[in-house]
Structures are given as C-alpha cells and as structure tokens.
C-alpha cells in the first residue's frame, strides 16, 4: 500500500492512497482518531488532478449508483467522515491511479 504518513505531534496523521478499479482500504493499521477523517480528491487546480470520481464506502463498495455503490468523491471535492477507525473506509473508482489525500482529525 502506498501511504506516506508522518506523525504531526500525537494523533494527527496524513497520507495519500491510490484508488483504482479494485477496491482497497484508505489506510491499513490503527490510528488514533479524535473526530474523523478528512479526504480530498485532487481537482483541476492541482498538479495532477483526478480524472474520475472515487467512490467511498464500506468493504463491499462499488463504483456505481447501485445499492452497493458508495458516495462519489469527484475531482476537486472533499469529504469528512466522523469515524474512529479509518480502516473501515474503502475506495474504488472506474479509472486507475486516482489519488485521495487524507488526514485524521
């Protein structure tokens, strides 16, 4: 898993995860989370923007609007999930190499 993480004084952690056509966890391992996880998909103003939405959901999330489809995170948009265990967040997209930046708060 390609996560660049760095401790920023206790519980604040951040990194990037690549989403593609196969679902994967946002993070592996346990992190102390106080309020939740903020995620952002790079958009047109970023050096390398995403080209497709990343669907966010549980371990059976799909990249569509079916009953198993997650919540789409379009390029340039952010999403906050008030969770205490970020390993429960899964990502999938209709295109490979879609980046998600994340930070615990």
Note the pLDDT tens digit of each residue in 65-102: 999 999 999 999 999 999 988 999 999 999 999 999 99
Q: Which fold has domain 14-104?
A: Jelly Rolls (2.60.120)
The answer, as to whether pTM is greater than 0.75, is yes
Q: How far apart are CA 56 and CA 3, in angstroms?
A: 17
Burial class (CB in 10 A: 0-12, 13-18, 19+), 49: middle
Task: Give the mean pLDDT of 31-37.
Answer: 83
Please give the distance of CA 26 from its chain centroid, rounded to a whole number: 5
Confidence at residue 4, expressed as pLDDT on a 0 to 100 scale: 46
Cα–Cα nearest to 91, from 41, 33, 34: 41
* Number of residues that this document lists for the chain: 105
Domain ranges for the chain, please list them: 14-104
């Amino acid at each position: 898993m390609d996560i660049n993480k760095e401790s920023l004084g206790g519980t604040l952690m951040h990194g990037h995860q690549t989403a593609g056509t196969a679902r994967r966890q946002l993070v592996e391992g346990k992190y102390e989370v106080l309020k939740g996880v903020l995620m952002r998909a790079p958009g047109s103003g970023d050096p390398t923007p995403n080209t497709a939405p990343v669907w966010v959901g549980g371990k059976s999330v799909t990249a569509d609007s079916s009953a198993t489809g997650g919540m789409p995170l379009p390029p340039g948009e952010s999403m906050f999930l008030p969770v205490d265990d970020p390993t429960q967040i899964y990502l999938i997209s209709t295109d490979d190499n879609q980046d998600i930046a994340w930070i615990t708060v």
